[in-house]
Chain A
Amino acid sequence: MADTYSRGKRVFVERPLELVLLTVGVALVADLLSKLANGTVTVLTLSIFLKDGIVIGLVIGLAGVGLSMTYSILNFANFAHGEYLTAGAFAGWVATYLVAGAGTVSAGDLFLLGVSGGADAGTVGASVFSTPLAVLVGFAVAVAFGVALALALDRLVYRPMRGQGAISLLIASIGVALALRYLLAFVFGTSRTGITGGTLPTYTVPVIDLIFNAHELALVAAALAMMGGVHLLLRRTKLGKAMRAMADNPDLARVTGIPTERVVRATWIIGGGLTGAAGYLVVLETGTISFDYGWTLLLLIFAAVILGGIGSIYGAMLGGLTIGIASTLSLIWIPSDFTHAAAFAVMILILLTRPSGLFSGVTTA
């Protein structure tokens, strides 16, 4: 009894911020329940928010896995990660357009994705339903391009800098981000354009009347499959073990004979592939593309990774879901132009109260 009291007192004195956060969280849940009870927020609204949150959260989680892996194994925050997302998406959608619109529109216009040029979303009509093959090809190309880009940039920029401090690498990644983003702007222009077209089948969940479409379904399925694949890879293969060893202690890993350079390459391959896939999927779901959307997602991805604990793969996935759901649910209380600010604020608070993340305890997987 006295022991519990003194422990409680210690928590109260040493971690006031955490206690405040907990109180705020409990208050918000209570408020949500009361709003549901008196009908200010309907079950349908809540379920739409949850669905949107899960959809965006899965994308953020998928991209976050790559960021988290490079963060823990190469030990630096890669600010160019958002651009890997955009570049993968552009490559994938160029492939989709070239396949879907072959014969009807000139290849040059298809290449430009209607961002500039004559191939608009309506004439090409790319979607999971009407052009499944083109979407599959595009998805594969997005993954492949993500991998190729990550490896090429590692060779050009990061490998010559191995052993330099985290901050030097971080600054270099900011330079990479600038160069990549505006190369995309140079080729595809700076406007935001519609990408997917045609009518989509929708599905209704009985009882609560929640409607979701084929693209959301495809995104959820693809994201979950890729996360499952990463789980198997890290848990069941020797590579996964080597990665976890390197994240824990790179010097020790090298001494025990783990080929560290090969592990680094594998990290980039997995991270780049997942990020390219995430970029492709987010465009599939939102239906628009622009040269800077990866950059706008970057801080949210960082938020997810930090929330889950840097280096933790499952943490990144859960963190992504949490950030996604939190940013949509926050619409119940705050105006929509503050949702990103709210997500960033949550990230800052997590960094201050639990720098090792909410779901941490183990690093890497």
Chain B
Amino acid sequence: MGVSADRLSARLPGGDGALILAVFLALYAGFGLLGVLLGLDANGLASTLQRITFFAAVYALLALALNLQWGYAGLFNIGVAGFMAVGVYTMAMLTAPTDPGTGGLPGLGLPLPVGIVGGMLAAALVGALAALPALRLKADYLAIVTLALSEIIRIVYNSTSLRTFSIAGVDLGTGGSQGLALPTNPINALFYSDARSPASPPTALGEAAFGLFGAAGVQHTTVVDWTYTLVLVVFVWLFYRLLSRVGNSPFGRVLKAIREDELVARSLGKDTGRFKIKTFMLGCALMGLGGILWQGSQSYVSPNNFLPILTFYIFIALIIGGSGSNTGSVIGGALFVGLLFEGPTFVRRLVAQQIPLGDAPDTFVAAVEPLASLDVTPLLAYALGNLASLRFVLAGVVLVYFVQTRPKGLLGHRKEIAASVDLSERPNRPARADGGERR
């Protein structure tokens, strides 16, 4: 499949950009068909495609950030959720009003851009804190340290003792397990005269947009959500450009050299530790921004949004696409969301609509017992009812499958080579044509 995807991108005019576009169009076609079969109206279809695009974009953002750390520099970070949490919480605490109403939590009352930059800086600093000493360790120790750190971060934000606290006379709060209110999405201000309330009269732009799309039967909230999703898509493009620039710069060449053989890079006089820390910090800042952009669509954030499972989802997305390839990261994010994350739910709705399965049994035993009389329907109904669990099982199986049989993902075999001249093209060394794999 990797090879065929590659051939496809060679045949498509426009290269990688066209490949990404083709993947998205295929997803849209698939979900559009599912939506039509389900009998969704125009608004339902628009909002379905918005959901797919939104999640594909956030997973692409995070997979790109992770690709910088793992794909380029070989730093195995499984604390992504923790760094995202630091970004989002710092942003929320910096921007929360200084004198909240009853039930609100106090913050520093700074403007949103300051909050976002502050969130990224905080994530980068925590990343540096983790990376400074941990980079001396073996890769699997770094994994354990980052996972433990992300759990510590989540526990701290979840703690009741820090629900509200004050440092040097300034009142702050994390909200504990109830979570923390997020600042109003600035996109709302484009469409509504009062950004806080969708019931307020629309602005001139809102009037025009709502009128235009309303004629096609698309509701106001869908229009607003689509606008925010398009902003995320622009951010994906920015991340992609930034990381491609980093990857092709002299800095990026050192990173790839570290990934291939750290000893060689050190022998050439590169301070590899410093390179790794910088990369780790940049990656963590981007994860913080990714988290902010993701949670920015919600009105509040809670520690349960940052369970380790989130990190593993991002890893699955990156591994499907192929670590080491930026295009792969974006495609991996889209495929993960389309096929593993959202796809099963739609298939369930379709099956439930098309095939009358009757009431699902309450327990596994009640679902399995009829198998004795060769009746599969209750088990099928039970499986559809408990699809949430099966989706995780599927994700785990896909992860094992990819690591075992396609460790380079769909596009990872194109991982960019460390040298500026492709030395692997020499005809007498076909075995290393993948660009310097050591084994």
Contacts and interface: CB of A to CB of B under 8 A. Distances in A.
Chain A, interface SS category: helix
B400 A172 contact: yes
Nearest to B308: A295
Interface string B176-213: 00000000000000000000000000000000000000
B363 to A, nearest CB: 5
B63 to A, nearest CB: 14
A178 B159 contact: no
B400 A179 contact: yes
Contacts of B395: 175, 178
Nearest to B395: A178
A348 B148 contact: yes
Contacts of B96: none
A170 B143 contact: yes
Contacts of A338: 155-156, 159, 161
Contacts of B155: 337-338, 340-341
Contacts of B159: 335, 337-338
B49 interface: no
B386 interface: yes
B400 A157 contact: yes
A186 B137 contact: no
A338 B386 CA distance: 33
A176 B407 contact: no
B151 A337 contact: no
A41 interface: no
Contacts, number: 144
B393 A182 contact: yes
A335 B155 CA distance: 12
B147 interface: yes
A179 B397 CA distance: 6
A344 interface: yes
Given A108-B366, A174-B399, 12 more contacts: A157-B404, A160-B404, A167-B140, A175-B400, A178-B392, A182-B393, A185-B392, A186-B390, A186-B393, A187-B364, A341-B152, A341-B156
Interface of A: 17, 76-77, 108-109, 111-112, 116-117, 157, 160-161, 164, 166-168, 170-172, 174-183, 185-190, 299, 302-303, 306, 335, 337-338, 340-341, 344-345, 347-348, 351-352, 355
Interface of B: 76, 78, 133-134, 137-141, 143-145, 147-149, 151-152, 155-156, 158-161, 309, 312, 315, 319, 362-366, 369, 383, 386, 389-393, 395-400, 403-404, 407
23 contacts: A77-B140, A77-B144, A109-B365, A112-B363, A112-B365, A116-B362, A167-B140, A168-B403, A168-B407, A174-B315, A175-B395, A177-B396, A178-B399, A179-B396, A182-B391, A183-B393, A186-B386, A299-B151, A348-B145, A348-B148, A351-B134, A351-B144, A355-B141
